[in-house]
Amino acid sequence: MKRKHSKKPFEQRKIALGRIETLFKQANLVFKENPGLANRYVTLARKISMRYKVKLPSGLKRKVCKHCYKYLFPSVNCRVRSKDGKMVYYCLNCRKYMRIPYK
């Protein structure tokens, strides 16, 4: 029998979203000196989003590789191209592509 998981209270989700955004800001600031720490911040942000059932905002979602969950910084560890109505992100860590459509 499946267990039903209810949403967390709105206040908790709001706090969680604020923490996620803070972690991504810190990852952006720290990335050049210590990429490992930036990846750790992203891992923590993902764990918070899963625990409190908060979706990552689309702007932040594009900064994380969907395959290896590393922080992506264009022209340092990822390549960004536009092709056939899609933004193509190529992760230089795991060598996989992410294709995100745009209008």
DSSP structure class, residue 73: -
39 neighbors 70 (Cβ within 8 angstroms): yes
Per-residue burial over 49-77, b = 16 or more CB atoms within 10 Å of its CB, e = otherwise: beebebebeeebebbbbeeeebbbeeeeb
pLDDT of 8 reads 85
Give the N- to C-terminal CA distance of the chain in Å, as an integer.
Answer: 42
pLDDT of 80 reads 95
Kindly provide the residue ranges of all beta strands, DSSP E only, lying in 43-85, ordered along the sequence: 78-83
pLDDT of 5 reads 79
Which residues of the chain fall below pLDDT 70?
Answer: none
pLDDT of 98 reads 95
Kindly provide the residue ranges of all beta strands, DSSP E only, lying in 1-103, ordered along the sequence: 78-83, 86-91, 97-101
pLDDT of 2 reads 78
Query: Which SS3 state, helix, strand or coil, does residue 41 take?
Result: helix
Instruction: Using the structure block, give the residue that is written with the tokens 């709001």.
Output: 14
Residue extents of the structural domains in the chain: 10-101
pTM (predicted TM-score): 0.89
Q: What is the residue type of 11?
A: E
Q: Quick one: fold of 10-101?
A: 1.20.5
